[in-house]
Structure 1
């Protein structure tokens, strides 16, 4: 068995940054930007009013009240064509271009409109209620930097910068193959001794959430022919993930069948719980992760190993979100394997995170993982800890 940190390092070392592709901005949400978004326009393109009111010259409003002659109006999108002279005012609306000669705006609440004239009762100095040209951004400014997963706000900014196409990383295509005669899909008829599979469905969802495209290869039976046939269908994808069949039983065929098909095994077995029988290697240059079959083990291992690999392939950092919490109940000494304890999170009266581990930690109890808010990290040979001690936790919000 190898340490967890070494296993993660080997897996990340195999990550190859995926090439970029161009997509319309309407398809950019959630994609990872491969090239900076650079403004093609200046916004606002000219000085505009921030309020409904009157565009005037500061020189004309040194005292109040003052009555000026109305010479036109400037609604948004229809600029006033003339030039403001002394003693004149232009009715202006939010977003309207500031007329030549004007340098300030008096809001309509401080004015009395008489039709041909307007009386102003208050106002500010130069630039009051004026948005100068380029206040938001100018041509050539970088709005969104490469290496970011695009959000709704990023797309809004890109659109306003007049960028209709985006350079993004290609989505990693991930083949997912479950194994085992005992496994059937949800809704199928259960024969004696069979169980309903959750792993394929969950892993497909996780791959999508992480920005990838899952390719569900189905369930291979416990025969070399069945496994070989479905593994061949993984050709052309960026990553192969198998579920189950990686242990040492007579029906655990993944190592032997994939080995015959060209698998170059890097490691097998990690000093961790849950997830000890995890396998990693390369199939003709394509990374392969063999996850354990127990659902908790499969998902915890996917979070710890598959997630950082997929992020790295898209050019994103693969750091874990680790936080400190107060332990709610005693825990005994740990053995030689790193342990990931499923736990609930709450907040005490001082605003501190409190982690309460479930009393039963079995890799077959998916309900506990579904109800958990975090994993408590316990290092190999960690000493006993008492309620009130500090522990490190990994929140599971995204999982």
Structure 2
């Protein structure tokens, strides 16, 4: 294993090769799921003036008070209040000049235009002061933030109609292998459906939009070469299958003929050892190439550990590597081997057990799993109730259970 890269070293080398995407502007309502390309500061003050936090009466003085009018949202009271004067006010309406607090509706007694209360509210009570949320020039969001619905509301409140975001990388996904059938409903006995490409495309789509699908392509150098030409305009190419060095594993040679340079391959993980990373310069820009193994679970695990972080890095996201969480072993885990191992796991949010099958071709157990259990190299036996590290499979590993 001396020439196999450690996972973290491999991820570090990969991220150093990622092409950085240019920026563009999109309307704020189209920005959900995009990544900010620069910091945002407030372009206005929120709230722009003192506002009522309750339905009731804006009051001046100790009372009783004489009602002078009304302040509604969008129709503020235009005058100023003198001591012992008040106006009817709605939640979110402007506090008139001279008012010092809001008397809640249920605490007020009213007789025509005369208003009284058993207790006068304290100074500033139920008033949202101007700028309590943010003031013009305040920092709001940092570059690298993936824009969520709450960020859209914040940006609009801060005066933004368009937002600066990173362009999504153009991703191509290529399936290779003589055994692959393009139509899962028409699959001969000596074939298997070409499912890896669809799986990988689905994994990366939230970050990169719909990838270009290429193949499946047979184990033939000329056919692979022609298929690679379809990826000429992509920023990131992900291949599945054929990346090792068997008699029928031709992807590495096809990539070399295409002008790619192999950066590294073979990582000390299980499943997924024959991962390959390469680069190719085209039109003055560097293209990143990830060669994933053909076994579906190996392909999934390596896409999770390498393809998703690479795309996040290309977008300039502030966090690119999925985060481990600590759960409790719901069963005994036997000692680990020489490679870092990723077991498909099923968790209830506190305890975790292995899925029934850990074979790298078993899709049924992958579909049931909601996490990957991390077993460090040469890990000792883990007893029931002891802590174990896991990656959640929700939202690319960025959400817990």
TM-score, normalised via structure 1 length = 0.91
1:311-322 equivalences under 5 Å are: 311-316=312-317, 317-322=319-324
The Cα of 1:262 is off from its aligned counterpart by 0.7
Give the match for residue 3 of structure 1. 6
Task: Provide the rounded CA distance (Å) in 2 between the counterparts of 1:340 and 1:193.
Answer: 29
1:24-39 equivalences under 5 Å are: 24-39=27-42
Query: 1:335 and 2:332 equivalent?
Result: no
The Cα of 1:173 is off from its aligned counterpart by 1.5
Q: Is the 8 A contact 1:106 1:122 kept in 2?
A: no
2:222 to 205, 221, 225: 225
Give the match for residue 356 of structure 1. 353
Q: What secondary structure, in the 3-state scheme, does the structure 2 residue paired with 1:398 have? A: helix
Task: Provide the rounded CA distance (Å) in 2 between the counterparts of 1:250 and 1:235.
Answer: 27
Query: 1:205 and 2:206 equivalent?
Result: no
C-alpha distance after superposition, 1:226-252 (max 9, x if no partner): 211111111121111111011233322
Bigger mean CA offset, 383-392 vs 94-103: 383-392
**C-alpha RMSD of the superposition:** 2.0
Structure with greater Cα Rg: 1
Change (3 A) 1:96 1:388: closer
Task: Provide the rounded CA distance (Å) in 2 between the counterparts of 1:87 and 1:325.
Answer: 62
Q: Is the 8 A contact 1:30 1:211 kept in 2?
A: no
The Cα of 1:389 is off from its aligned counterpart by 4.1
C-alpha distance after superposition, 1:333-354 (max 9, x if no partner): 433322212222236xxxxx32
Give the match for residue 288 of structure 1. 289
Give the match for residue 78 of structure 2. 81
1:118 to 108, 115, 120: 115
Q: Is the 8 A contact 1:37 1:163 kept in 2?
A: no
The Cα of 1:393 is off from its aligned counterpart by 2.2
Task: Provide the rounded CA distance (Å) in 2 between the counterparts of 1:84 and 1:197.
Answer: 75
Give the match for residue 365 of structure 2. 368
TM-score, normalised via structure 2 length = 0.90
Task: Provide the rounded CA distance (Å) in 1 between the counterparts of 2:269 and 2:27.
Answer: 43
Change (3 A) 1:395 1:88: closer
The runs of 5 or more residues in structure 2 that have no matched partner are 397-401
The runs of 5 or more residues in structure 1 that have no matched partner are 348-352
Task: Provide the rounded CA distance (Å) in 2 between the counterparts of 1:74 and 1:388.
Answer: 61
Task: Provide the rounded CA distance (Å) in 2 between the counterparts of 1:174 and 1:299.
Answer: 16
Q: Is the 8 A contact 1:25 1:164 kept in 2?
A: yes
Task: Provide the rounded CA distance (Å) in 1 between the counterparts of 2:381 and 2:117.
Answer: 77
The Cα of 1:215 is off from its aligned counterpart by 1.7
Task: Provide the rounded CA distance (Å) in 2 between the counterparts of 1:149 and 1:376.
Answer: 26
The Cα of 1:359 is off from its aligned counterpart by 5.1
Change (3 A) 1:390 1:55: closer
